[in-house]
């Protein structure tokens, strides 16, 4: 099979390289940052901040591989799979990737509903909230990558001030909590790094929206800057949480970041966590919208159908799944399953990287 040609995307649908920073960052920072500290501290304790740095380095390496995979094929994941595996096997892999992106969307969506149920509206009717939220998602996703990018910009501008309120727990915390430094084994740190997988998931959407970047080579530095910025946010968030909570306390706190919002003290706001959760809707929205867009884009490319029809089908699946998943245990199981699936997907990227290089060398040898 010859190398496929580039996708012809209209110029009015393209995004400039700097916006890749927004898409990478906002896809990585969503609902996971509200409670990831508890999970990464289970294996490595308060040395888990080291696992965040290790995870960040690994993500940078995988991001470089993704750009290398897409560089010569000049297409998306559908193009790459058909180039490496052929039409039929490649189509099977593409469907698996679409299902994975839909699973990622469902996990963020359903987990955020649980946050609202626990902290704001305990009697919230899931079906009612799902209809409203999914309707808003449809309105954004149908607008395409540029509209989602606009939402990503809004989430960045709104999410950054919320992170500045870390000042309050720092003032009340104890720095001695994080000492002694590095008193865990390498295997424990690696286990903690694995636990950060769900938090760092999101760079794989680049495999879908890559053709929509105007100057692809210029976007590389912005993509890496997005990963670096995300890593620093997770690192600072974890350190603040570790300073405020003891390890025994953290083991019993499900949503550490939301709990820390409770100590924010303003004379005109008594329950700041309500404000934080309400504002976090804007942070989560581009997260789920980009995942849904990526999931629906793949069938559109494969079967030449209208993307809006695929979106409707996926929205119905999300609605049904969100109602069927009930209780903290079920949501936690969903998060664990998605984290495992995301880990395998990240491990698949180096494999695909090697397969693309091998296929390119075979083609060059045949041509010569």
Residue 136: burial class (beta carbons within 10 Å; 0-12, 13-18, 19+): middle
Give the per-residue pLDDT at 22: 94
d(CA 161, CA 63): 28
Q: Domain 23-359 carries which CATH code?
A: 1.20.1740.10
140-153 mean pLDDT: 94
Confidence band (pLDDT; 50, 70, 90) for 3?
A: low
Strand partners, 15: 213
Cβ count within 10 A of residue 214: 15
Per-residue pLDDT tens digits for 340-363: 899 999 999 999 999 999 999 998
Tokens of 308: 């809006």
Ramachandran angles phi, psi of 227, nearest 5°: -65, -40
Cβ count within 10 A of residue 229: 16
Residues 83 and 4: beta-carbon distance below 8 Å: yes
Confidence band (pLDDT; 50, 70, 90) for 33?
A: confident
Give the per-residue pLDDT at 124: 86
- Check whether 211 has a pLDDT greater than 90: yes
Per-residue pLDDT tens digits for 321-344: 999 998 889 998 998 899 889 999
Distances in Å between the Cα of 243 and the Cα atoms of 54, 64, 169, 232, 246 are 21, 34, 8, 16, 8
150-175 mean pLDDT: 80
DSSP letter (8 states) at residue 2: P
The rounded percent of the chain whose pLDDT value lies above 70 is: 96
The rounded percent of the chain whose pLDDT value lies above 90 is: 51
Give the per-residue pLDDT at 268: 67
Tell me the three state secondary structure of residue 15.
strand
Give residue limits of the domains in the chain.
23-359
Mean predicted lDDT score pLDDT of the chain: 88
Residues 212 and 13: beta-carbon distance below 8 Å: yes
**Cα-based angle 299, 301, 305 (whole degrees, multiple of 5):** 65
- The DSSP annotation for 209-273 comes to HGGGBSSTGGGHHHHHHHHHHHHHHHHHHHHHHHHHS-HHHHTT-S-HHHHHHTT--BTTBS-HH
Give the per-residue pLDDT at 220: 95
Confidence band (pLDDT; 50, 70, 90) for 91?
A: very high
Element containing residue 366 per DSSP (H, E): helix 327-367
Residues 236 and 165: beta-carbon distance below 8 Å: no
Per-residue pLDDT tens digits for 222-247: 999 999 999 999 998 888 888 888 77
The separation between CA 137 and the C-alpha centre of its own chain, rounded to angstroms, equals 16
Confidence band (pLDDT; 50, 70, 90) for 105?
A: very high
User: Nearest-CA neighbor of 352 among 97, 5, 56, 57?
Assistant: 97
- The DSSP annotation for 300-363 comes to HHHH---HHHHHHHHHHHHHHHHHH--HHHHHHHHHHHHHHHHHHHHHHHHHHHHHHHHHHHHH
d(CA 166, CA 170): 6
Q: Which span out of 180-194, 223-237, 274-288 was modeled with the highest average pLDDT? A: 223-237
- Check whether 30 has a pLDDT greater than 90: no
Confidence band (pLDDT; 50, 70, 90) for 102?
A: very high
Residue identified by tokens 């909590």 is 177
- Check whether 24 has a pLDDT greater than 80: yes
Give the per-residue pLDDT at 64: 96
Per-residue pLDDT tens digits for 294-326: 999 999 999 989 999 999 999 999 999 999 998
Lowest mean pLDDT among 50-54, 78-82, 213-217, 264-268: 264-268
Confidence band (pLDDT; 50, 70, 90) for 10?
A: confident
pTM (two decimals) = 0.92
User: Nearest-CA neighbor of 32 among 196, 170, 165, 204?
Assistant: 196
Burial code (b: 16+ CB inside 10 Å, e: under 16) for 328-362 equals: eeebeebbeebbebbeebbeebeebbebbeebeee
Give the per-residue pLDDT at 267: 67
Confidence band (pLDDT; 50, 70, 90) for 194?
A: confident
- CB within 8 A of 272, min separation 6: which ones? 165, 261, 262, 264, 265, 266
């Amino acid at each position: 099979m010859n190398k496929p040609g580039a996708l012809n995307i209209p110029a009015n649908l393209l995004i400039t390289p700097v916006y890749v920073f927004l898409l990478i960052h906002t896809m990585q920072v969503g609902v996971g940052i509200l409670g990831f500290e508890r999970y990464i501290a289970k294996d490595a304790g308060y040395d888990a901040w080291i696992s965040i740095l290790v995870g960040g380095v690994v993500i940078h390496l995988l991001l470089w591989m993704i750009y290398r995979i897409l560089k010569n094929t000049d297409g998306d994941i559908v193009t790459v799979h058909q180039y490496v595996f052929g039409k039929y096997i490649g189509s099977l892999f593409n469907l698996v990737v679409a299902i994975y992106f839909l699973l990622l969307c469902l996990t963020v969506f359903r987990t955020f509903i649980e946050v609202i149920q626990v902290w704001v509206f305990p009697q919230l009717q899931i079906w009612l909230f799902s209809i409203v939220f999914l309707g808003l998602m449809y309105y954004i996703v149908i607008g395409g990558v540029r509209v989602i990018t606009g939402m990503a910009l809004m989430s960045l501008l709104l999410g950054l001030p919320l992170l500045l309120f870390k000042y309050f727990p720092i003032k009340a915390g104890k720095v001695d909590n994080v000492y002694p430094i590095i008193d865990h084994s390498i295997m424990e740190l690696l286990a903690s790094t694995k636990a950060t997988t769900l938090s760092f998931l999101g760079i794989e959407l680049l495999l879908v929206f890559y053709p929509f970047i105007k100057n692809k080579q210029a976007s590389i530095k912005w993509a890496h800057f997005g990963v670096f910025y995300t890593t620093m946010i997770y690192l600072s968030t974890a350190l603040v949480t570790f300073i405020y909570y003891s390890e025994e306390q953290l083991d019993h706190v499900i949503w550490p970041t939301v709990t820390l919002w409770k100590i924010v003290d303003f004379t005109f706001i008594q329950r700041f966590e309500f404000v934080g959760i309400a504002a976090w809707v804007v942070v989560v929205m581009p997260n789920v919208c980009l995942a849904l867009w990526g999931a629906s884009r793949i069938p559109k490319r494969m079967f030449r159908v209208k993307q809006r029809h695929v979106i409707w089908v996926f929205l119905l699946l999300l609605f049904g799944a969100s109602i069927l998943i009930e209780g903290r245990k079920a949501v936690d199981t969903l998060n664990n399953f998605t984290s495992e699936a995301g880990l395998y997907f990240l491990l698949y990227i180096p494999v695909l990287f090697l397969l693309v290089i091998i296929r390119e060398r075979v083609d060059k040898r045949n041509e010569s």
